[in-house]
Amino acid sequence: MNEILGRLPKHLLNLVIEQPYNDYTPQDHALWRYVMRQNVRFLSGVAHLSYLDGLKKTGVSLEQIPHMYGMNRILKEIGWAAVAVDGFIPPSTFMEFQAHNVLVIAADIRPIEQIGYTPAPDIIHEAAGHAPIIADPIYAKYLREFGEVGAKAFSTPYDRKVYEAIRHLSILKADPYSGPNDIALAEKNLEILTTATHEPSELAKIRNLHWWTVEYGLIGDISDPKIYGAGLLSSIAESYHCMQPIVKKVAYTLDAANYSFDITEPQPQLFVTPDFDTLSVLLNEFADTMAFRKGGSEAIRKAVLSEDSATIVYSSGLQVSGVFTELIEKNGDPVYFRTTGPTNLSFENKELPGHSKNYHSLGFGSPVGKIRQLDAPLEDLTDDELRKIGLIIGEKAELEFISGVIINGILLDSVRRNGKLILLSFSDCNVSYQGQSLFQPDWGTFDMGVGSRIVSAFTGPADPEGFGLTYSSPAEKTHRITHSEKAKELHSLYQHVRDIREKKQPHDALNSIWDKLKNNHDNDWLCALEILELLKENNNQDLLYSEVTDFLIGKKSSGDAVAKLINDGIEMIK
């Protein structure tokens, strides 16, 4: 058991699935084998030095699709783990797994028509692209830091619509039996969404940074860079294409956050970092622009715009988690905020006793700022100092904020943590601002958050377990492919070829396999390559060898992409 998995937060577990290992077909394993052997052959000259060494360290087999159990036994040696998920998961969730040193692996494998490049995440992309490079400790540190920062990024309802559209398109494209009209409609819907003018959210920008580094990053000298991005490492078509002069190479800066991307097309430009340390430096600079570090009204506005559960943090350390719906400002500073619906209060990411979502079931509202005629922030006052300004348990009290918010009520209780006053509770309480009533006595107890400033805001609750956070598994599932009888026959031919190679069975059966392949499946080229390889290894270059060779040469006319795949396969055999 990889103990890292045992430390995963409960709310992430609903997204984890059992790897459907028995659903992989013999053709799937042959496809994996072809891609991995081509990777080793080509990437040894163009990938970052740690890649090939990482293949060994992370237990990624070249011969067959790796089993998650085996990978986890080896990944734990470098402080990581892996889980299987059902296709695309939301970017923020992906990054949250990353923050816990867990590699998310989409369990599906691309169809043979997309062997060179697929827009959908699959096990080739995740296990052969992401896993090996994390064996580099400096890069692994960056990946974890990126997860920690990205998991705090605010998204918008628009981002969620884009995610759903991308997921839908990727599911269709990963199914070899999807209709062209369905794919065209999904592509059009995504195009309409992504071409609409829209202010990019924090998540949109950090997703761009993730794409241009973790997925499509180059490293080293800009005139002769090496590949480290998983999208390139797992794409035998694009790893070759990206090295060509037609792809512009740009020095990596935070300007990359403004470059969007199209998952269905080769990238027109790629960004080159001089080293992995630079990635962490620039990530830290970007984090300085985000709400979780900046705080203030801007941070609360992002929480409101997200229309999702979020947390804001007072300067006292009090954390308020819920769906934020209102912000009152004065001169650009927050005066009062409000949540709608279940809200809880926490300190240091742990729910405060008595302040659960059940207690604050209708929402929470509170002022922010300093108290008039007080030099020190209210959170810094001792109990004696509170009594001097009339804050005495059981007695009527009044607080007037510099902003103009006025609170009148009977003080019921105060809460301190680490010496700081973080909460005051009032009964029979009126709260007003510029003649507007913000809280009335018949609403119950008024719990006032204490803090002169809002120092942070981030997506999601501070205490996920206390908040009862759960991530539902995606409503639209990836397709479980139902193969035709003809496809099953083809898969049996692949299996027979694999048995001959791995179990050292006699090569005599290759003649009958070939007859069935050319007569019933003359659109397939990969099984023919595997037959040719066995003949070559056995020094059997007779009539059958010539016939298979001629067949493959004839298949090259199917298009440039297939011609290159066949040429590369023949070169590998030689």
Please provide the size of the chain in residues.
574
The segments of the chain whose pLDDT lies below 50 read none
Structure tokens at 326: 């209102």
How far is the C-alpha of 497 from the C-alpha of 34, rounded, in Å? 14
pTM reported for the whole predicted model: 0.90
Q: What fold, for 3-284?
A: Phenylalanine Hydroxylase (1.10.800)
The per-residue pLDDT for 442 is: 96
Residue 114 · residue 173 · CB < 8 Å = yes
Q: For residue 540, what pLDDT is reported? A: 67
Q: What's the pLDDT score for residue 281? A: 98
Say how far apart CA 461 and CA 543 lie, in whole Å: 69
Q: Which residues are within 8 A (CB) of 522 and not within 5 positions of it... i.e. 6 or more apart? A: 551
- Alpha-carbon 405 to chain mean position: 42
Q: Considering only CA atoms, which of 111, 173, 90, 102 is closest in space to residue 143?
A: 102
Nearest-angstrom CA–CA distance, 56 and 48: 15
pLDDT of the residue at 399: 97
The domain ranges of the chain are 3-284, 309-467, 485-573
What does the alpha-carbon distance between residue 463 and residue 146 come to, in Å, rounded to a whole number? 21
pLDDT of residue 561: 82
* Cβ pair 460, 309 in contact under 8 A: yes
What pLDDT shows up at residue 220?
96
State the burial class of residue 358 (Cβ atoms within 10 Å of its Cβ: 0-12, 13-18, 19+): exposed
What 3-state DSSP class applies to 24? coil
